[in-house]
Amino acid sequence: MVKLKRLQPESDAEPAPIVLIASSDSDTRSLYRESLISTRSDVVEAIDGRDALVQCFKRPPALLITETRLPYIDGYALCEVLRKDPLTSAVPIVVVTADVDPVALARLSRMGRITVLGKPVAIERLAETVRALGTTDAPDDEPIASSDVSLAPRSRYMSTAVRRFRRFETVAPAALPPALRCPECDVLLKFSKSQIGGVTSRDPEQWDYLACPQCSERFEYRHRTRALRSTDEG
């Protein structure tokens, strides 16, 4: 006879946050699952976009990690549906993709609360991103009313995600820099990437990185101050 394992948590601690991994490839799912070992999360897997959608609506996760290429409903459509529904609109999403299509990536960046990681992703990088989103350790400062126990952890993890807003890089920011010229050569600078950061996600800052195609000098443009400075000095 099989002995049933007791699944009760050690104390009357709240349940671990759910992290949903969506990928059609079982090796990839195992790899991502492995990267989450150090995090205190309950990992759930989905094998295609439809499965991921069903699981998200059944039990909205504290975080979704998805690929863009998924059977039935691709990662882009999945993100769009989740963002439109009030139940899942605030779920932080990490998209792992090999796509470099700027239009597709811009579509993702406009949805908000989406971190795009290039594929293949190093598992340390994924773990770091998950930790930065705040799914690993819960703050102890907010007591929860017992009647709210089933709902409270989710909303608490979301507010944690907002508080732990970190800088991230994107090649497809929601706001592109204005047309900027090299002070030396007077030719238009070429945009390479943006860094989004700031104190909270409600008050983000954006720095763009550009280079001169003629003299190859590199520049940084800060949106808040509209200042362009060379990063090659010194």
User: Which residues contact Zn ion by CB under 5 A?
Assistant: 182, 184-185, 212, 214-215
Question: CB-wise, 87 or 185, nearer to Zn ion?
Answer: 185
CB of 229 to Zn ion, least distance (A): 14
Cβ(152)–Cβ(14) below 8 Å? yes
CB of 181 to Zn ion, least distance (A): 9
CB of 85 to Zn ion, least distance (A): 48
CB of 209 to Zn ion, least distance (A): 15
Question: CB-wise, 137 or 184, nearer to Zn ion?
Answer: 184
Q: How far is the C-alpha of 170 from the C-alpha of 192, rounded, in Å?
A: 9
Question: CB-wise, 59 or 181, nearer to Zn ion?
Answer: 181
Q: How far is the C-alpha of 206 from the C-alpha of 22, rounded, in Å?
A: 30
Closest CA to 137 of 27, 62, 58: 62
Neighbours of 179 (CB within 10 A): 7
Question: CB-wise, 12 or 186, nearer to Zn ion?
Answer: 186
Specify the DSSP element, H or E, that contains 123: helix 123-132
Specify the DSSP element, H or E, that contains 22: strand 18-22
Question: CB-wise, 139 or 213, nearer to Zn ion?
Answer: 213
CB of 67 to Zn ion, least distance (A): 39
Q: How far is the C-alpha of 59 from the C-alpha of 106, rounded, in Å?
A: 28
Question: CB-wise, 161 or 212, nearer to Zn ion?
Answer: 212
Cβ(143)–Cβ(49) below 8 Å? no
Q: How far is the C-alpha of 104 from the C-alpha of 86, rounded, in Å?
A: 23
CB of 234 to Zn ion, least distance (A): 18
